[in-house]
Chain A
Amino acid sequence: QVQLVQSGSELKKPGASVKVSCKASGHTFTRYAVNWVRQAPGQGLEWMGWINTNTGNPTYAQGFTGRFVFSLDTSVSTAYLQVSSLKAEDTALYYCATHDYGSGAHFDYWGQGTLVTVSS
């Protein structure tokens, strides 16, 4: 059973950084790519981009370049999202989600979400 378990909620001040983890289990880590999806309070889903778990190569969606970094630690089957210079508008739920290489752009499995709150 594929599972993605994310790190807990974070409360950060504006200008700080945050690192969210997404630990995979139940499958070979390199079998699926890891995507990141943002959901602002009361809003819809927004794709942030993805990281290739075989090469470590990240791809960022428009609007998520510069302050956002995707990374991996394959030794512990974990993907990371780091956001720097946090702003109030970064307050959101952040989800990791997998997609199968070679399949359509659909997300088979999702983490439970990590709430990041940016407030002074």
Chain B
Amino acid sequence: QSVLTQPPSVSAAPGQRVTISCSGSSSNIGKNYVSWYQQLPGTAPKLLIYENNKRPSGIPDRFSGSKSGTSATLGITGLQTGDEADYYCGTWDSSLSAVVFGGGTKLTVL
């Protein structure tokens, strides 16, 4: 049982837009930055978004992040088949004194 809650799967057609939600609580998302990771099949996770909405160098602006209250959202526009992956949200939990992750969302580009 993950501390952060994500939908197990989402799907959309190529070229479309998709959002992935991440729900937490006042001790984690409510007071700390959220990050998002992309894990392509058979590879290590890669940082996509940090500090709620910032993109590391090299991450295209098709990827965006936002946070409101105790929830965060990852948005992906102009979907490509290469975006098929598992996506994880993560943050610090001040009560647990630990980094916590969501259970992951599998994105299928139909």
A contact residues vs B (CB 8 Å cutoff): 35, 37, 44-47, 61-62, 95, 97, 103-113
- B44 → chain A, closest Cβ, in Å? 4
In this complex, the member of A97, A103, A106, A113 whose beta carbon has the largest number of chain B beta carbons within 10 angstroms is A106
- Cα–Cα, bound, A113→B88 (Å): 17
What is the number of residues of chain B that contact chain A, defined by CB distance less than 8 Å? 25
| Pair A104/B92 contact, Cβ less than 8 Å | yes
Q: What's the nearest-Cβ distance from chain B to residue A63, in Å?
A: 10
Most buried by A among B43, B56, B90, B92: B90
Tell me the dominant secondary structure on chain A's binding face. loop
Give Cα A47–Cα B98 distance, bound, in whole angstroms. Answer: 8
Residue of B nearest to A112 (CB): B44
- Tell me, yes or no, whether B23 is within 8 Å of chain A by CB: no
B90 touches A105 (CB 8 A): yes
Given A44-B103, A47-B100, does the pair A105, B92 have CB atoms closer than 8 Å? yes
- Nearest opposing residue in chain A for B91, CB measure: A105
Closest CB in chain A relative to B51 CB, distance in Å: 5
- Contact A44 B99, beta carbon cutoff 8 Å: no
Interface of B is mostly: strand
The answer to whether B56 and A108 have CB atoms under 8 Å apart is yes
Contact B44 A45 (CB under 8 A): no
**Known A106-B51, A113-B44; contact A45-B35, beta-carbon cutoff 8 A:** no
**In the assembled complex, how far is the CB of residue A61 from the closest CB belonging to chain B, in whole angstroms?**
5
Would you give 17 A-B contacts (Cβ < 8 Å), ordered by A?
A44-B101, A44-B102, A45-B37, A45-B88, A45-B101, A46-B101, A47-B98, A47-B99, A104-B51, A105-B32, A105-B92, A106-B47, A107-B45, A108-B47, A108-B56, A109-B47, A112-B44
